[in-house]
Structure 1
Amino acid sequence: MGTVSLSDTWVYALRLPHDPRAARVARMTVRAALSSHGRQEILDVIELLTSELITNAYRHTNGAASLRLTALADGRLRVGVWDSHPRIPAPFGEPPWDRVRLAAPDAESGRGLRLVQEYADSWGGWSIGDSGPVDHAAGKLLWFEVGGRKVGA
C-alpha cells in the first residue's frame, strides 16, 4: 500500500453574497484553510487583509463577491477577491495612483487598503470586461500575496 503525499499547492474558492456577514465568513474560511494546511505563521495577516477586501466589496458594490485562496509552490499565499465594481483603487492601480494616503486620525474608515500596502508582499488588480469568466462578467479582481520561502532559510 502506497503513502499519499499532500500537495504544497492548493486552491479554495468561495462565492459570497452581498451580506454584511460576508467578511466574517471569509475570515472563518481563511482561518480553517490555513490552519488545516499548517500555515499559522501567515494566518493573521491573510485573515486581516482578506477581511478588508471583502468588506470593501460589500461597501462599494451591490452584488456578490468571490474569494480565491491559492497556495503557490514557493510557499507564497495569494488571495484574490472579485467584485462587480470596475474601478481599481490604490494601491492596486498604476502610478501615480498606486499609494494609499494616510487616513486622518479621527477618520472612521479609510485604513483597509493602506493595510494591504503595508503588510502584503505584492499586490495587483485588473478590471474584468465582458470577456471575463461566465460568472464574473464584469467588475474587478484585486489580489495580494504574503509569505514565501526565504533564500537560504
Structure 2
Amino acid sequence: MPETEAPAPWEYTLYIPHDPRAVTVCRRTLRLILTMHGLIRLADTAELLATELVANAVLHTKGPAALRVRWSAGVLRIGAWDADPAPPDPPAPVESLAEAERGRGLALVRACADLWGWQPLAREGNRGKYVWCDLVAA
C-alpha cells in the first residue's frame, strides 16, 4: 500500500488596518484559505478563534494588526499581531463567562484551542505582540 504524503506546510499573513470591519474580512479570508487547502472541517472553530484574536488586536490597540495562519505537521496555528507590546489580559475563568459582558475572548480561545500563548515582538524598530493558538487536526 503506498504511503500518503503529508500536506506541505503553508502560511498566509493578512495585514489589516485599525478598523473593526477588518475582523469580518479576516474571518471570511480564513474560511477561504481553509477551504482551498481541504481543511474545511476546521473552519468553524478556526473562525471563532481568529475572530477573538483579531477583535482583541483591533479593539484594544491603536495601530495596525495582522492575521497569520500557518499549517505544518497537522497543526493549524492562528495568530494575531498588533503594535502594542503590552501582554494580553489573562483569560477569565470559563465559569464566569455567562455573566461577563467583556473579557470572554481569550477564555474562548483557551477553551477551544489545543494550545495558546503570546510573545512580545521587536523587529526593525517595531514593537508589538503576537497572540496565537493551535488547532490539531484529528
- TM-score for the superposition, normalised by structure 1: 0.78
- Report how far residue 80 of structure 1 moved: 1.6
Match of 2:81? 82
Name the amino acid aligned to 2:10.
Answer: W
| Greater share of helix | 2
Could you list the runs of 5+ residues in structure 2 that have no partner in the other structure?
Answer: none
1:133 aligns with 2:120: no
1:51 counterpart SS class: helix
RMSD, aligned α-carbons: 2.1
Residues 67, 81 of structure 2: 8 Å contact kept: yes
1:57 aligns with 2:81: no
Aligned identity (percent) is 41
Name the amino acid aligned to 1:88.
Answer: P
Alpha-carbon distance change, 106 to 9 in structure 1, aligned in 2, over 3 angstroms: same
Match of 2:131? 142
1:89 counterpart SS class: coil
Could you list the runs of 5+ residues in structure 1 that have no partner in the other structure?
Answer: 92-98
1:68 aligns with 2:57: no
Question: 1:44-84: CA deviations, max 9, x gaps?
Answer: 11111100011111111111101110001x21101121101
- Report how far residue 142 of structure 1 moved: 0.7
Alpha-carbon distance in structure 1 between the residues aligned to 2:101 and 2:7? 42
1:39 aligns with 2:31: no
Alpha-carbon distance in structure 2 between the residues aligned to 1:112 and 1:50? 10
**Corresponding residue to 2:103 among 100, 110, 126:** 110
Pair member with larger Rg: 1
- TM-score for the superposition, normalised by structure 2: 0.86
